[in-house]
C-alpha cells in the first residue's frame, strides 16, 4: 500500500469586537439555527451535548446529491475547542483557538486539515477554501457582535 500524502493545512483568522468569554460561549453553542448565520441551507441535528463535548450532524441537499457530515467537538474552555468530522464528501480535523486582544476584542485562529472521501472529489485550492471559510466567519462575526451588543444593552436597561 502506498503511503498517503499529508492532508493540506488551512488557516483562517477572524477578530471579534467582543470579549473572549462571550466569543467562546457563542461559538460553541451549536444549534439547529446555525446555518442561517452562514446563509447556508444545511439542516443541523444536535445528537449529544455535555460539558466537554458536542456531537452533531449536518445534512444538505445539493444539485449533485446529499452532503452529510458528523462532527465530534471537544470543548476545552476557556479558549479552545477541537472538532473531528467525517462525512460523505470530506473528513476534517479542526482546531479553534481564541486569544485576547486589546480593547476587549478577541482573535480566533482556525487551523484545519481536510481530505476528500472517494465520492468527495478534489479539494478546492488552499486560497479558494480559505476565502470561502473567511466569508462564513465574517457572517458569524456580524451575528456574534450583534448578539453581544444586545446583551450589553440589556445589561444597562432599567
Q: Which of 23, 37, 36 is nearest to 96 (CA)?
A: 23
DSSP letters, 81-148, are: EEEEEEESSEEEEEEEEEEEEGGGEEEEEEEEEEEE-TTT-PPPPHHHHHHHHHHHHHHHHHHHHHHH
* Enclosing H/E stretch for 22: helix 20-27
Q: Which residue has the cell 465530534?
A: 72
pLDDT tens digit sequence for 61-115: 888 788 899 999 999 999 999 999 999 888 999 999 999 999 999 999 999 998 8
CA distance 73 to 131: 23
Domains of the chain, by residue range, sit at 9-153
What spatial distance separates the first Cα and last Cα of the chain, rounded to whole Å?
Answer: 69
Q: Are 51 and 77 in contact (CB under 8 A)?
A: no
Q: Is residue 38's pLDDT more than 80?
A: no
Given this model, what pLDDT does residue 148 score? 97
Residue 13 pLDDT exceeds 90: yes
Report d(CA 128, CA 134) in Å as an integer: 10
Eight-class DSSP state of 4: P
- Cα 120 from Cα 106, distance rounded (Å): 34
Strand order from edge to edge, sheet including 53-62? 9-16, 105-116, 90-101, 80-87, 65-76, 53-62, 43-49
Please state, rounded to an integer, the average pLDDT across all residues of the chain. 88
CATH number of 9-153: 3.30.530.20
Amino acid at each position: 500500500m502506498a503511503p498517503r500524502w499529508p492532508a493540506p493545512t488551512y488557516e483562517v483568522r477572524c477578530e471579534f469586537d467582543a470579549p473572549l468569554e462571550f466569543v467562546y460561549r457563542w461559538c460553541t453553542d451549536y444549534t439547529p439555527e446555525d446555518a442561517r448565520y452562514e446563509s447556508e441551507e444545511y439542516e443541523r441535528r444536535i445528537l449529544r451535548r455535555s460539558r466537554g463535548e458536542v456531537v452533531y450532524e449536518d445534512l444538505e441537499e445539493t444539485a449533485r446529491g446529499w452532503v452529510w457530515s458528523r462532527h465530534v467537538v471537544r470543548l476545552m474552555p476557556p479558549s479552545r475547542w477541537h472538532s473531528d468530522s467525517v462525512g460523505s464528501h470530506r473528513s476534517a480535523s479542526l482546531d479553534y483557538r481564541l486569544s485576547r486582544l486589546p480593547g476587549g476584542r478577541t482573535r480566533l485562529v482556525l487551523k484545519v486539515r481536510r481530505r476528500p472521501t472517494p465520492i468527495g472529489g478534489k479539494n478546492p485550492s488552499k486560497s479558494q477554501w480559505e476565502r470561502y471559510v473567511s466569508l462564513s466567519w465574517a457572517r458569524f462575526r456580524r451575528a456574534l457582535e450583534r448578539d453581544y451588543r444586545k446583551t450589553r444593552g440589556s445589561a444597562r436597561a432599567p
